Copies of this chain bind each other. A is one copy, B any other.
Amino acid sequence: MTQTTEPEQPRLTPAGTRVLDTASELFYREGLHAVGVDSIARAAGVTKKTLYDCFGSKDELIATYLRRRDGRWRAWLVDFVGRNSDTPQDKPLTTFDAIAQWQHQTNARGCAFVNALAELPDDTGPAHTAILDQKRWMTEYLTSLVEAAGHPDPETLGTQLFLLQEAAFVTHGTGVPENAIQLAKDTAAALMASRGRRP
């Protein structure tokens, strides 16, 4: 049902890895259009030639960045939920703690995929596909957790939790309100409580 399999990672040469690492940080921190390939190559200690040999184009580098970030997020999230939940009933809410932790350890610039979409108006291309994949997977994952917790109508409740997660990410990025993630978690808890659970 829900696939926790992350998108396959292409083999990268050492220089390619350095490029991708550097680009990932710059793209998330500064934005897609604000970062040029020259500065990426320079920061990675690599020639532009190497960058283009490895990724072909900036668009493809962006898409690779998003796909890898998605893959890491999925693996990290599933692991986090596994380690920080005692029962299946805890798991849906633990995902909000995961957001808090994730945003704390990277720069608090909100959701990388939402930010990327803001800079990619045309709804075609590999980057756009990667963004939508992330959103769909997240919805399905939350739905599966809610279902495993024994709630009726997991489809609806899972999607509602997804909405709250999106809100938590984006409002944490703006800083308004201050305790956004905690409030989103509380709200999710209220929703789950008001819908009852199967024995």
Contact = CB atoms under 8 A, between A and B. Distances in A.
Contacts of A119: 31, 33-34, 118-119
Please state the number of chain copies in the assembly: 2
Contacts of A184: 163
A1 interface: no
A75 interface: no
Contacts of A132: 174-176
A144 interface: no
A170 B136 contact: no
Ordered nearest first, which 8 A-B pairs have the shortest CB separation?
Answer: A33-B33, A115-B118, A167-B167, A163-B167, A135-B176, A118-B118, A166-B167, A194-B194
Contacts of A114: 110, 114, 118, 170, 173-174
Contact of A177 (B31, B159, B176, B187): B159
B31 A173 contact: no
A177 B135 CA distance: 8
A63 interface: no
A131 interface: yes
A50 to B, nearest CB: 25
A163 B166 CA distance: 9
Interface in A150-183: 156, 159-160, 162-164, 166-168, 170-171, 173-177, 180, 183
Contacts of A199: none
A163 B171 contact: yes
